[in-house]
């Protein structure tokens, strides 16, 4: 019962923030709505027993990445975006996409309950220690590859954002 109430509250905040993100015309408003979505997603992660993922969601996503976005928006002085007369791609791809989306949602809802059981709070709790053991034993190679990727990304960002010599 408690789980249902909490899920409905945070899912409602999530969807409302995402819709606000879609409907706002100023990039700063969109960025702030996206921070709301990320914060309530972190609480949903906590309810699913993923405490480390929830903490990283708040620190890295809602903290670092969104601060970077807001910083770039202010640096480039981005104003209200120009209205365009609606691209044809949005109509051509959007209508079949919407139909497929609702079909898939109906299919998930009507799936037999034996495949998709209920989940509840405290049913599956992952301590950070278990996550670290899995990360550094089974997933050691992907972890190292990711560190190389981050290094390349840092160098690429520095090279791209550097001011050209006249």
Partner 1 sequence: MIPLSWYLILGAILFAIGVASFLIKRNIITIFMSIELMLNAVNLTFVAFAAHWHQVSGQVFVFFVMVVAAAEAAVGLAIIIAIFRTRETLNVDQVNLLKL
For 95, the enclosing helix (H) or strand (E) is helix 88-109
Nearest to 66 by CA among 46, 37, 44: 37
Residue with tokens 């709790």: 125
Residue 60 DSSP symbol: I
Residue 129 touching partner 1 (CB under 8 A): no
State the minimum distance, in angstroms, from the CB of residue 140 to partner 1.
Answer: 11
Cβ pair 86, 160 in contact under 8 A: no
Question: Looking at the DSSP assignment, which residues form a beta bridge with residue 126?
Answer: 50
Written as six digits, the tokens of 96 are: 């079949």
Residue 139 touching partner 1 (CB under 8 A): yes
Residues in 18-77 that interact with partner 1 by CB under 8 A = 18-19, 21-22, 27, 30-31, 34, 37-38, 41, 44-45, 48-50, 52-53, 56-57, 60-61, 64-65, 68-69, 72-73, 75-76
State the minimum distance, in angstroms, from the CB of residue 165 to partner 1.
Answer: 13
State the minimum distance, in angstroms, from the CB of residue 13 to partner 1.
Answer: 11
Residue 131 touching partner 1 (CB under 8 A): yes
Residues in 91-120 that interact with partner 1 by CB under 8 A = 93-94, 97-98, 101, 104-105, 108-109, 111, 113, 116-120
Burial class (CB in 10 A: 0-12, 13-18, 19+), 17: buried
């Amino acid at each position: 019962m408690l789980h249902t109430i909490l899920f409905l509250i945070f899912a409602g905040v999530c969807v409302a923030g995402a819709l606000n993100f879609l409907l706002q015309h100023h990039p700063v408003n969109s960025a702030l709505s996206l921070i709301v979505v990320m914060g309530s997603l972190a609480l949903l992660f906590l309810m699913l027993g993923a405490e480390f993922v929830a903490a990283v969601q708040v620190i890295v996503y809602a903290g670092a990445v969104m601060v970077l976005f807001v910083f770039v928006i202010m640096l480039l002085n981005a104003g209200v975006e120009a209205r365009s007369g609606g691209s044809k791609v949005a109509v051509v791809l959007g209508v079949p996409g919407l139909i497929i989306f609702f079909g898939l949602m109906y299919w998930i809802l009507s799936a037999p309950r034996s495949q998709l059981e209920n989940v509840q709070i405290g049913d599956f709790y992952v301590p950070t220690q278990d996550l670290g053991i899995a990360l550094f034993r089974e997933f050691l190679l992907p972890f190292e590859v990711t560190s190389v990727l981050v290094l390349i990304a840092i160098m690429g960002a520095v090279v791209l954002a550097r001011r050209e010599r006249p």
